[in-house]
C-alpha cells in the first residue's frame, strides 16, 4: 500500500516520489534473470550470460554489453519487498515534472544531467500509483497507424525491437506490448539501476497474439542517446519524457529516430493546462508558476511537444498528436493528493511569495480530495512520429 504524507506546517519545496535512502535490492545490478525466478520461484544460482559468466547491468549502456531477460510476468524476487516507503523530499530536488508526476523515472537530473551525479531514484510505489491513470490516458487512437507502419516492416527472426527511453518501472511496456502482435524484444533504458530492476522483473510475458516478449536493460542517460544506440530499432517509445528535455536533446532524439528509420511513440507530455472542479481563484496563478518552473534551466516543459513536432517534421517524419489527459475523480484520491502536493510545491518554489496563500489552498484542496469532492483534469499530449515510406507518401 502506498503511504502518503500530510502537510501540517507548510508546503515542502518539492514533495515527491524520490527516495534517496532505500538500498538497492540484492541482485538488482544483474540484468539476466531466469524465467523461474521471474515467476517468483527460487533460483538455484546466479544467472549467467552466453559465456557462462554472470552478466552485470549498470554499465555505461550506450557502449557496453547489455544483459537479456527472457519474457515473464510482473513479480518480485523471492524475499524482496514489492514496494517501498514514500517520503516527502526535503532537499529541494524535483520529485517529478508533472507536479509530482514522476515522469516514470526520467527526471534524473537534480543537479544537471551531465552524467556526473548519481541518478535520482523514484519510489516504485509512486510509479505504481500513477500507472492506472497513465494507462487510461494514453491515446489508443494512435495505435492503428503505428500498427500499420510496424506491419510493413521486413520480417525479423527476433520480431520487433522496441527501445523504451527512461523506462522507470516499465509501465509503457506493460501497456504497449500486449497491444502489439508478434514477437517483441524490449530494450529498457534508464539511469537508475533500481528502476531498471523493477522494470525487468515486471515486464509482460507475451504480445497480443501470444508471441514471446523478451527484455534487455541498458543503464545510461537518455539525453546522451546516439543514433548508433538505435541501430536495428523497430520503434522508440517513452512515457512523460519530452518535457524534461532541452531543445537540443529533443532534436538529437528526433535525429536518432529519423536516422534509424523507426517510428517514435512519445506519450504523456505535459501540456501546461490543469482544470480543477470546483474552481478556485488561485488555480490560474499556480498553473502559471508551475509552468514557469517546468521551463527552468533550459528544459522545455509544456513547450516540448511543439518543439518535438517541428524537430521530427524537419527530418522528414509525419507527426500525429492526440490529447491524453489524466481525468482524476474520487476514485483517484491517493494519486490526486500526491499530484497536488507536487504541483503546488513546484509553483511555490518558483514563486515563494505565493507560499502563504498556497498553504491554505493546498490544505483546502487536500480536504476536498479526501472527502471525494475534488476532480482534476491534467492535460497531456501523445505524439506519434512516422518515417515517410520511400517515395515520399505520408
**pLDDT band at 138; cut points 50, 70, 90:** very high
Range 342-369 average pLDDT? 96
Contact yes or no for 198/57 (Cβ under 8 A): no
Number of domains in the chain: 1
State which residues form the domain around 256: 35-272+298-327+380-387
Answer yes or no: is 66 within a domain: yes
Say if CB 184 and CB 159 are below 8 A apart. Answer: yes
Report the residue count for the chain. 394
How many CB atoms within 10 Å of residue 209? 10
> Is 70 strand, coil or helix?
coil
pLDDT band at residue 367, thresholds of 50, 70 and 90? Answer: very high
In a domain, 107, yes or no: yes
Residue 371 inside a domain? The answer is no
pLDDT tens, residue by residue, 211-245: 999 999 998 877 777 778 888 899 999 999 999 99
Per the CB < 8 A criterion, the answer to whether 370 and 42 are in contact is no
Provide the pLDDT confidence category of residue 126 given band limits of 50, 70 and 90. confident
Q: Which residues pair with 266 in a beta bridge?
A: 238, 383
- Confidence (pLDDT) at 121: 53
Task: Provide mean pLDDT across the span 281-298.
Answer: 95
Instruction: Kindly report whether the peptide bond that precedes residue 278 is cis, defined as omega within 30 degrees of 0.
Output: yes
pLDDT tens-place string over residues 323-345? 999 999 999 999 999 999 999 99
Mean pLDDT of 111-135: 64
Q: Of 15 and 267, which is predicted with more confidence?
A: 267
Could you give the dihedral angle defined by the CA atoms of residues 143, 145, 151 and 152, in that order, rounded to the nearest 10 degrees? Answer: -160
Q: What is the pLDDT of residues 27-47, one digit of tens each?
A: 333 333 333 333 333 222 222
Helices marked H in the chain: 35-38, 124-137, 143-151, 171-176, 193-201, 247-260, 283-294, 304-314, 333-350, 355-370
Is 76 a domain residue?
yes
**Does residue 305 lie in a domain region?**
yes
Helix (H) or strand (E) holding 322: strand 317-323
Alpha-carbon gap, residue 293 to 95, rounded angstroms? 13
Q: Residue 317 pLDDT more than 90?
A: yes
Residue 71 has pLDDT above 60, yes or no: no
Domain assignment of residue 20, yes or no:
no
How many angstroms separate the CA atoms of 198 and 33, rounded? 12
pLDDT for the residue 122:
59
Looking at per-residue pLDDT, the higher value among 300 and 80 belongs to: 300
| Residue 346, domain member (yes or no) | no
Indicate whether 280 belongs to any domain.
no
Query: With 80 as the cut, is the pLDDT of residue 193 above it?
Result: yes
**Taking all residues of the chain, what is their mean pLDDT, rounded to a whole number?**
74
C-alpha cell recorded at residue 84: 517501498
> What was the pLDDT predicted at 388?
81
The mean pLDDT value for 153-160 works out to 81
**Residue % of the chain over a pLDDT of 90:** 56
pLDDT, tens digit (0-9, with 9 covering 90-100), for 44-61: 222 223 233 222 233 333
What's the DSSP call for residue 391? T
**Which CATH number belongs to the domain containing residue 58 in this structure?**
3.40.50.150
pLDDT at residue 227, as a whole number = 78
Find the mean pLDDT for residues 182-187. 95
Amino acid at each position: 500500500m502506498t503511504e502518503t504524507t500530510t502537510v501540517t506546517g507548510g508546503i515542502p519545496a518539492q514533495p515527491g516520489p524520490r527516495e534517496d535512502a532505500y538500498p538497492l535490492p540484492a541482485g538488482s545490478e544483474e540484468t539476466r534473470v531466469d524465467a523461474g525466478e521471474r515467476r517468483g520461484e527460487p533460483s538455484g544460482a546466479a544467472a549467467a550470460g552466453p559465456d557462462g559468466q554472470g552478466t552485470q547491468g549498470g554499465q555505461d549502456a550506450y557502449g557496453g554489453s547489455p544483459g537479456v531477460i527472457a519474457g515473464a510476468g510482473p513479480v518480485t524476487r523471492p524475499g524482496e519487498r514489492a514496494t517501498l516507503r514514500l517520503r516527502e523530499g526535503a532537499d529541494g530536488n524535483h520529485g517529478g515534472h508533472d507536479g509530482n508526476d514522476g515522469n516514470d523515472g526520467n527526471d534524473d537530473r537534480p543537479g544537471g544531467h551531465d552524467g556526473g551525479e548519481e541518478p535520482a531514484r523514484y519510489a516504485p510505489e509512486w510509479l505504481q500509483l500513477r500507472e492506472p491513470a497513465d494507462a487510461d490516458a494514453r491515446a489508443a487512437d494512435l495505435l492503428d497507424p503505428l500498427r500499420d507502419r510496424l506491419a510493413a516492416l521486413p520480417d525479423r527472426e527476433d520480431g520487433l525491437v522496441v527501445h523504451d527511453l527512461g523506462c522507470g518501472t516499465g509501465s509503457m511496456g506493460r501497456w504497449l506490448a500486449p497491444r502489439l502482435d508478434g514477437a517483441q524484444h524490449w530494450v529498457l533504458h534508464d539511469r537508475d539501476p533500481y528502476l531498471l530492476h523493477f522494470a525487468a522483473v515486471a515486464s509482460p510475458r507475451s504480445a497480443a497474439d501470444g508471441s514471446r516478449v523478451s527484455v534487455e536493460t541498458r543503464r545510461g542517460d537518455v539525453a546522451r542517446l546516439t543514433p548508433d544506440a538505435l541501430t536495428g530499432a523497430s520503434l522508440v517509445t517513452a512515457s512523460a519524457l519530452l518535457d524534461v528535455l532541452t531543445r537540443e536533446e529533443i532534436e538529437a532524439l528526433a535525429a536518432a529516430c529519423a536516422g534509424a528509420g523507426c517510428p517514435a511513440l512519445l506519450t504523456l507530455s505535459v501540456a501546461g493546462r490543469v482544470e480543477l472542479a470546483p474552481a478556485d481563484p488561485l488555480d490560474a496563478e499556480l498553473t502559471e508558476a508551475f509552468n514557469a518552473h517546468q521551463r527552468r534551466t533550459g528544459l522545455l516543459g509544456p513547450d516540448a511537444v511543439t518543439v518535438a513536432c517541428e524537430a521530427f517534421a524537419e527530418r522528414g517524419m509525419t507527426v500525429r498528436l492526440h490529447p491524453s489527459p489524466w481525468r482524476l475523480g474520487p476514485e483517484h484520491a491517493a494519486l490526486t493528493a500526491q499530484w497536488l502536493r507536487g504541483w503546488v510545491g513546484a509553483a511555490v518554489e518558483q514563486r515563494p511569495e505565493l507560499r502563504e496563500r498556497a498553504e491554505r489552498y493546498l490544505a483546502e484542496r487536500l480536504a476536498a480530495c479526501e472527502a471525494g469532492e475534488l476532480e482534476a483534469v491534467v492535460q497531456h499530449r501523445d505524439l506519434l512520429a512516422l518515417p515517410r515510406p520511400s517515395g515520399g507518401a505520408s
